[in-house]
Structure 1
Amino acid sequence: MVATSARQGTPHRGCTLSWFVEGDGPPVVMIQGVGIGAEGWRPQVEGLASRFDCLCLDNRGFGGSQPPGEPLTVELMAEDVLALMDARGWASAHVVGHSLGGLVALYIAHRVRERVRSLALLCTFASGAVPTRLTPRMLAMGLRTRLGTRRMRRHAFLRMVLAPGELAQADPDALAQQLAPLFGHDLADQPPVALRQFQAMGRADATPFLRGFSGLPTLVVSATHDPIAPPSAGQALAAGIPGARYVEVPNASHGVTLRFAEQVNALLREHLDGAEALRQVEGLAMPT
């Protein structure tokens, strides 16, 4: 069972955003991707909450964040996160994003860089054209998640987010049941907002402002078998941000945060600790 933290609701631009905070320490905001809610960060919260104050939200239109409100854009999703930081009283925070959430994180840093202590960009891309491209493989994978019996659709979804080696060693029915609470829905179903999220992602492109993040501690993590955010996209993203660190997790796919949580959490702790240490050094170096 997934442990559920007490939820809070914050109205913002036509939507009451549903979110929770767990932990103690420097502030960290975690932003999810298409078709998954705040509980998808549960493995990371469990790994980080002893040292960091973790804020996780349902993106507008998903789960408890209803109604969707205004036309969905990545810019609006970035504003939602900033509204929750304001509600929490955080002048700044580390920002962690997965997939679409990584694109949202980039837009936040572009808009108000002074409020971003560091970026951790997981299985993501600088341009939404990457995951929304209709290659024959992506088209076939997407169709299989929407056609056939519910069991067939669950198995197709697993093939889209897990590496072949993971699936070969798993009971897909048990795994689909195990992952459903983390995604916030039965894997046979796609939440109604998913298409709008997908379309908003396709219209977004952070490539023009990556160079402006020079000096901002940035971690980029890709998974070797990820068909949605392939390593080439992560490599290009890291290359575009001066000083960014790139790490590729072998034997993993788009669900790396759920299935390789220990490895991802170790990378996040190292990254966040390093960014906090740098803040302290820079603070000491500031003239009084």
Structure 2
Amino acid sequence: MSLAYRRQGTSHRGCTLSWFVEGDGPPVVMIQGAGIGATGWRPQVEGLASHFRCLCLDNRGFGASQPPGDALTVELMAEDVLTLMDAQGWKSAHVMGHSLGGLVALYLAHRARERVRSLALLCTFATGAVPTRMTPDMLLMGLRTQVGTRRMRRHAFLRMVLAPEELAHADKDALAAELAELFDHDLADQPPVAMRQFRAMGKADATPFLRGLAGLPTLVVSATHDPIAPPTAGQALAVGIPGARFVELPHASHGVTLRFADRINALLREHLEASETPELRHGGQGRSK
């Protein structure tokens, strides 16, 4: 499947949202995190499109979704997704989100639960206080992605999203080039909207309404070496949604959807297919693990 998906545009609150749809079957909306666009879901689209109809978007202000329009908030990003579901004529859909996209998915489910068939929350958190925490390690990690030569910045970005064992014997230059295609930008560069996304994420907190999502089939996946969304954050998120299933993947980091696509796609397909069963579609409890 080519990276050149056929894009469409839908205007909403000052932004023309860029999106594409691939596949056939029950509808699935895929929401990316900060600094990455719809193309970042390519490994999941390739793994799921034979059984599901996948809608992926550039979040407002990123890539082809321009201009950013209204003040950027997680609530507005959730509203954007509902607008695209309306444009498709979808009364409901499975919703999955990675990192910031997971927060958007949570806010969407809180606002319009009847439109969410299930949640898949990947490398994410219930509160934006987790990824925006200013610990010395996080500050140093972020600084290294913004200073030095372009090659140094690319390698620093790789260390932020990939596990040490993934990088130990890798050709880092080739790997940076490969990921740049999926991120839709050179890893040495920070997209202009990234800081606005970061600030919006830091102001968001889904913790107060997690219990209200009880009974919504929910899969939470964390990666052992993820410094941005550590497994403790995923565990807390899963505990907060009664009935949610939690899975931790070893030897992986924040880029698990890109680097361990087969394992992620198997979990997602199992989750989506189980969520299509009548008892879960009508409010039954999610499975726990």
Aligned counterparts of 1:151 and 1:5: Cα–Cα separation in 2: 29
AA matched with 1:215: G
What's the offset of the Cα at 1:169?
2.3
Partner of 2:10: 10
Any unmatched runs of 5+ in structure 2? 284-289
Matches within 5 A, 1:17-56: 17-56=17-56
Alpha-carbon shift at residue 5 of structure 1 (Å): 1.1
Match of 1:245 in 2: 245
Relative to 1, partners in 2 of residues 1:208 and 1:282: Cα closer, same or farther, differing over 3 Å? closer
CA separation of 1:99 and 1:7: change in aligned 2, threshold 3 A: same
In structure 2, the residue matched to 1:159 is 159
Paired residue for 1:113? 113
Q: C-alpha separation between the residues in 2 aligned to 1:281 and 1:28?
A: 14
Q: Distance in 2 between matches of 1:93 and 1:244?
A: 18
* Correspondence 1:226 to 2:242: no
**How far apart, CA to CA, are the structure 1 residues paired with 2:153 and 2:168?**
17
- For the aligned residue pairs, the C-alpha RMSD in angstroms reads 1.2
Q: What are the ranges of 5 or more consecutive residues in structure 1 without an aligned counterpart?
A: 284-288
- The whole-number CA distance in structure 2 between the counterparts of 1:280 and 1:257 is 25
- Residue 205 of structure 1: CA displacement? 0.1
SS at match of 1:128: coil
Go from structure 1 to structure 2 and tell me whether the alpha carbon gap of 1:86 and 1:133 turns closer, same or farther (over 3 Å shift): same
The percent identity for this pair of structures is 81
Does the alignment pair 1:193 with 2:193?
Answer: yes
Q: Which amino acid aligns with 2:266?
A: A
Instruction: Determine whether 1:122 maps to 2:122.
Output: yes
Corresponding residue for residue 287 of structure 2 = none
CA distance in 2, matches of 1:169, 1:53: 37
Q: Aligned residues, how many? A: 283
Partner residue, 1:286 = none
Spell out structure 1 runs of 4+ moving beyond 3 A. 278-283
Q: Who is 1:256 aligned against?
A: 256
Give yes or no for contact 1:7–1:18 (8 Å, CA) kept in 2: yes
The question of whether the paired residues in 2 share the 8 Å contact of 1:2 and 1:182 is answered with: no
**Residue 279 (structure 1) shift:** 5.4
Provide Cα deviations, 1:186-207, integer angstroms capped at 9, x if missing partner. 0000100000000000000000
Aligned equivalents of 1:224, 1:178: Cα separation in 2: 23
Does the Cα contact within 8 Å between 1:34 and 1:100 map onto a contact in 2? Answer: yes
1:2 Cα offset (Å): 4.9
Q: Distance in 1 between matches of 2:60 and 2:130?
A: 22
TM-score normalized with structure 1 length? 0.97
Whole-Å Cα distance in 2 between the matches of residues 139 and 103 of structure 1? 22
